[in-house]
Copies of this chain bind each other. A is one copy, B any other.
Amino acid sequence: MPLDWTDLQHFVALAREGTLSAAARTLGVDHVTVARRVAALEQATRLKLVDRRARAYALTDDGRRLVQAAGPMEQAAFAIERSVVASRPGLGGEVLVSAPPTLANRLIAPRLVELRRQHPAIAIKLIGEKRIASLNRREADIALRLSRPKEQGLIARKVGRFGFSLYGAPDYLKETPQHELGFIAYDSSMDTAPQQQWLKMIAGPRPIVFQSSDLESQAAAARSGLGLAALPDFLGQSDPGLVRLDSGGGNISREIWLVVHRDLRRTPLVRAVMGFLIGCVASA
């Protein structure tokens, strides 16, 4: 009798995520279940697949071979999930949308009511995470990204652009001389982002007084008079507690890319949501 495919599924998830807990999260089960199913697979194959180490599991040679053989199976499983979504008739069902947090909160979320009015049966699940969701693994059906993705099988389309400017509280700007201005930046994990490098260039020798991974926090800090933050114009312009400062040092802008998997691009449901998203970012 054949191997249990669920055992394989759990094992592949463990191999990809590295830990029982992470694998359990992606599978929507308890970590104990993952451990049990992997043990079951080891017994069914009579192979030792993992070394139980303290903090994380390590695959044995046999385990690596099995994962390699199982890679195509997982890809096929993802293709099936996409096929299921693509088969959904009409304009009803759940669509997973991934977008950078600020885009999600400021441009999309406020206008979801419009979509719901037009297509009451569409339920959007909006994932506002900085981590780029994998469309291949169907962590999302549609994604908004700030750069063109390079992955296989994905269709990307430039749908908008927005500029960054320096924003601060009006009182702060009035009271503070140019050379004493403080700056608000991303944390160092974003050092490679263009807007971060642009901000640091503008700041020059002047101090960075606050770092946050979250743009909303930076905006709030700027609003309270802590310093200047590089914010998207769609965020800064609409905030009555902030004014735009002409930085003098040129401006920077980023593109917005709409990304969808090839398998889903013709699905009515997905197309409807894509149209809605384009409307959201066109105004930026």
Contacts and interface: CB of A to CB of B under 8 A. Distances in A.
A80 B3 contact: yes
A1 interface: yes
Interface stretch (A64-72, A100-108, A228-236, A245-253): A64-72
Interface string A36-78: 0000000001110000000000000010011001101101110
B47 A84 contact: yes
Contacts of A77: 2-3, 5, 8, 73
A249 to B, nearest CB: 48
Contacts of A239: none
Interface in A12-40: 26-28
A4 interface: yes
A65 B87 contact: yes
A3 to B, nearest CB: 6
Interface in A74-93: 75-77, 79-81, 83-84, 87-88, 93
Contacts of A212: none
A255 B284 CA distance: 75
Of A6, A83, A87, which is in contact with the most chain B CB atoms at under 10 Å from its CB?
Answer: A87
Given A73-B76, A80-B70, A5 B9 contact: yes
Contacts of A83: 65-66, 69
Nearest to A28: B1
A117 B16 CA distance: 44
Contacts of A5: 5-6, 8-9, 77
Contacts of A69: 76, 79-80, 83
